[in-house]
Amino acid sequence: MQTVIEQERGRFDQQRRRTYQIAGSLGVLMVAIDIVKQSLDHTQPLVVRLVYIVNDLFLIAISLFVVWLVTTRRGKLTTVERLMFIVFAAESLLFNGIVPPLLGQTLALRWEQTVNDDIWFLFMICTLGFHLFRHRASVLIVTSLYGLSVIILGGQILFSMPHEPLEPGLRSLQVYGMGAIFLCFIYIVSRYRAQTQRLQIEYELMEEWAFVDMLTGLANRRRCEQVLQEATARYQRYGEPFTICLWDIDHFKQINDTYGHEGGDQILRQMARLARTMIRSTDFVGRWGGEEFFLLLPCTHLAEAEQLADRLRHRIMEHIGLSDHVVSASFGVAEYHPSDDQTSLLARADSALYEAKSTGRNRVVGAELSPSFG
């Protein structure tokens, strides 16, 4: 499950990087257009145009820097995002709020700037804030930023009275009010998405725990039976052969009596790790119960399965043990036959395992077909 979560996080990070690459490139284009517009707008004083052009060049530099960071993967993505948030929040407060009135911006021009770009730039920053920070922190930061923007606009309206018509300023306030409602919906959607993802992860964890043996990390008996049923269905539909193997740790009770249950648990975990290294990617291994394990080998006949089981038997003696105690195991192997069902196949494998244990242990026994199957 952890691997799946990491893979999902990696895909999401890749999507974020692509989004920032596209958004940064479009931002550079939009700011370049604004530079051209400022250069051609001779209704504004030269000093005002120069201030905005210099700021636009700064924004282009920042945008290109961000695109370079996310493309070359320099630094953590969250660090780049927080840098973007700080710079753009400061830009919004300064050049969409404080600086324009100081440079003689009228309420009419403020209304034009609000609907053209100011409010959209602020929406972008607030949406990024909801994404970057945790629940309460994001609400506090976004509310503070948006509230300061509204306060600055309100201050401009108050100081413009009674020299200018108030209608453009009130329109701007109305847009900011509607924008606040829009941000509430963005917040609700972001919280809903986060809640949905959390519930999905919890569901997947519960689903995985239902099929995983918590001691060894292998599939549990319920999952083994499910896989066996699927293999049986494939045989009946496509004729795909398969063989199962049941094996049991020899004298496991003595191990528990000598080393305690913690020693026995250690042996079981060692067995699980070894089994994972021995099987093919298409094979399936699980804990059948107690000290007994289950192995399903697709597209494998009895003779080949016996050879694999014997290799595993030798590796167990070489690599599993406690102190000077050498661990061994007994194996029962059975290939699926058209006359079989799940119950008869398991019974034949279990009988072969019983024979291996009753004839001296530490051996592999292949199950023969009962005469009734003839």
Q: Which residues are tagged catalytic? A: 291
Distance CA 126, CA 124 (A): 6
- In 3-state terms, the chain is what percent helix, strand and coil (to 5)? 70, 10, 20
HEC readout, 254-311: HHHHHHHHHHHHHHHHHHHHHHHHHCCCCCEEEEEECCEEEEEEECCCHHHHHHHHHH
- Please, which residues have CB within 8 angstroms of residue 256's CB and are 6 or more apart in sequence? 263, 264
Q: Is 22 exposed, middle or buried (0-12, 13-18, 19+ CB in 10 A)?
A: exposed
Tokens 């008996």, residue located: 221
Type of residue found at 329: A
Distance CA 157, CA 170 (A): 8
